[in-house]
């Protein structure tokens, strides 16, 4: 199958978010963790490559993204999507602008659009200014982000120092007039040499207009929401045939284990909800594992009935997390916990678990790495932005649910199990 749209995401959970949204169409989506080392074979209509380039230095981010583009071109894609965060996470130098400009050069295209809006999640753009709920970006919690603090809300101004060519705006007044008005505006800006166009969007209807006007562009850039209308548009105009491969529902063994390394507010609720259900649970004590390693938890897991979906969690409230970090160092203890949860995943796979639910973006990265998984087939969506995924690990068909931070409802751990049982 020829790939219709090649997508590159600047982090892993951004890629799964995009995958889940595209999978709503029922069309098959493949997700690769890093640029595949093998040439494309048996590709899907939508191919996504997840990079870890958001906070990387500019030249590394550009090089990795160009390698991803090259692979996607070899998969047959002629249109491409560069996915970044809906809060436009970037530094003064990049990486959103430099990466987009490098992709444009390689594709020989003169213009692209920037639309990180995600109205369903409260991200909207008006007159070039990005809002998080009712707050301008630079007044939202993003102003204090440890890696990419955002001190300006205006996307045109943010983008300008990141690129060499002119930056412009197609505002909401144009978008409100529909796809052909927007097309005309983009053509006008193109004639003036404006290569980078921020496009306003405050509601899902705007995203539809923008996707319709821009679906033939070699390169579109934005958050995941702007890609949402694309599968239906491609099916309607025949770019994607009606018999395009569908999302798979392979037979997966029933043994389940849940591993939680996220300490977000929502994950704390999800763990508490699961404990209340009197499911088998084991709390990893950071001080204890830093001293004695994984033996105790692995011994506990060996005694568990995997049909009861036991949960191992390091999840803790902010005060205990802070105390642990002060005692053991933030990065050091983070890594120890990730490694132990990854060991649990491998041990449980070897003991017969075929369904693994993981909470935590970094934790998911550690678990997939330990399981040797680099290719995921996207399945049904459990919660917005979190699909079940299918993969092979050590010759076994497995299902993984990989959830970052605040995604999912308080009942996520049971929601995920129920969703897979329905397929």
Q: Which residues bind ligand ADP (CB under 6 A)?
A: 261-264, 267, 286, 314-316, 321, 324-325, 333-334, 337-338, 360-363, 404-405
Nearer to ligand ADP, 77 or 342 (CB): 342
**Dist. CA 176–CA 178, nearest whole Å:** 5
**Could you give the 3-state DSSP secondary structure of residue 386?**
strand
What b/e string do you get for 333-364 counting C-beta neighbours within 10 Å, with b at 16 or more?
bbebbbebbbbbbbbbbeeebbbbbbbbbbbb
> Nearest residue to ligand ADP, using CB?
360
Please state, in angstroms and as integers, the Cα–Cα distance from residue 23 to each residue in 89, 105, 380, 388, following that order. 25, 30, 7, 10
Length of the chain: 423
Q: How far is the CB of 266 from ligand ADP (least distance, A)?
A: 8
The number of beta carbons lying within 10 Å of the beta carbon of residue 242 is: 6
Task: Name the nearest CA neighbour of 284 among 331, 329, 343.
Answer: 343
Q: How far apart are CA 421 and CA 416, in angstroms?
A: 9
Check if the beta carbon of residue 355 is closer than 8 Å to that of residue 398: yes
For 133-255, where are the E strands, in sequence order?
135-136, 167-170, 196-199, 219-222
Taking the complex as a whole, how short is the minimal distance between the CB of residue 329 and ligand ADP, in angstroms?
Answer: 10
Minimum CB–partner distance for residue 267 and ligand ADP (Å): 6
Q: Which is nearer to ligand ADP, 366 or 391 (CB)?
A: 366
Angle at 356 between CA 351 and CA 358, to 5 degrees: 135
CB of 358 to ligand ADP, least distance (A): 8
Phi, psi of 406 (to 5 degrees): -90, 10
CB of 55 to ligand ADP, least distance (A): 13
Q: Which is nearer to ligand ADP, 20 or 229 (CB)?
A: 20
Residue closer to ligand ADP (CB basis): 404 or 414: 404
Rank residues 51 and 208 by Cβ distance to ligand ADP and give the closer one.
Answer: 51
**CB of residue 11 vs ligand ADP: minimum separation in angstroms?**
10
Nearer to ligand ADP, 145 or 216 (CB): 145
CB of 361 to ligand ADP, least distance (A): 4
Closer CB to ligand ADP, residue 11 or residue 206?
A: 11
For the bound state, the minimum distance from the C-beta of residue 17 to ligand ADP, rounded and expressed in Å, comes to 12
Distances (CA, A) of 91 to 145, 221, 351: 11, 17, 45
């Amino acid at each position: 199958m020829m790939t219709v749209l090649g997508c590159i995401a600047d982090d892993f959970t951004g890629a799964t978010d995009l995958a889940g949204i595209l999978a709503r169409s029922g069309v098959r989506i493949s997700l690769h963790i890093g640029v595949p080392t093998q040439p494309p074979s048996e590709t899907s209509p939508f191919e996504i490559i997840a990079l870890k380039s958001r906070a990387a230095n500019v030249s590394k981010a550009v090089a990795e993204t160009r390698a991803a583009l090259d692979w996607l071109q070899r998969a047959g894609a002629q249109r491409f999507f560069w996915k970044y965060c809906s809060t436009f996470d970037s530094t003064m130098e990049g990486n959103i602008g430099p990466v987009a400009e490098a992709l444009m050069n390689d594709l020989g295209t003169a213009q692209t659009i920037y639309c990180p809006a995600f109205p369903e999640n409260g991200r909207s753009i008006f007159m070039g200014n990005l809002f998080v709920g009712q707050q301008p970006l630079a007044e939202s919690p993003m102003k204090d982000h440890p890696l990419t603090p955002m001190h300006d809300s205006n996307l045109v101004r943010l983008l300008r120092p990141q690129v060499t060519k002119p930056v412009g705006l197609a505002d909401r007044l144009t978008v409100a007039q529909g796809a052909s008005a927007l097309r005309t505006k983009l053509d006008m800006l193109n004639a003036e040499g404006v290569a980078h166009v921020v496009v306003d969007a405050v509601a899902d209807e705007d995203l539809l207009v923008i996707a319709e006007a821009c679906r033939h562009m070699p390169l579109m850039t934005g958050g995941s929401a702007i890609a949402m209308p694309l599968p239906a548009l491609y099916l309607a105009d025949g770019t994607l045939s009606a018999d395009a491969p569908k999302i798979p529902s392979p037979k997966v063994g029933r043994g389940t284990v849940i591993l939680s390394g996220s300490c977000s507010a929502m994950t704390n609720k999800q763990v508490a909800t699961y404990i209340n259900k009197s499911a088998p649970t084991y709390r990893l004590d950071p001080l204890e594992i830093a001293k004695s390693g994984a033996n105790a938890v692995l011994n506990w897991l060996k005694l568990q009935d995997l049909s009861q979906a036991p949960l191992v969690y390091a999840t803790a409230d902010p005060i205990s997390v802070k105390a642990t970090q002060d005692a053991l160092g933030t990065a050091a203890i983070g890594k120890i916990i990730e490694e132990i949860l990854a060991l649990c995943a491998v041990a449980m796979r070897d003991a017969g678990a075929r369904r693994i639910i993981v909470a935590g973006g970094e934790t998911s990265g550690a678990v997939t790495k330990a399981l040797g998984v680099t290719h995921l087939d996207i399945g049904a969506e459990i919660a917005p932005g979190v699909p079940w995924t299918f993969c092979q690990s050590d010759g076994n068909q497995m299902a993984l649910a990989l959830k970052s931070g605040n995604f999912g409802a308080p009942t996520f751990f049971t929601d995920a199990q129920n969703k897979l049982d329905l397929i």
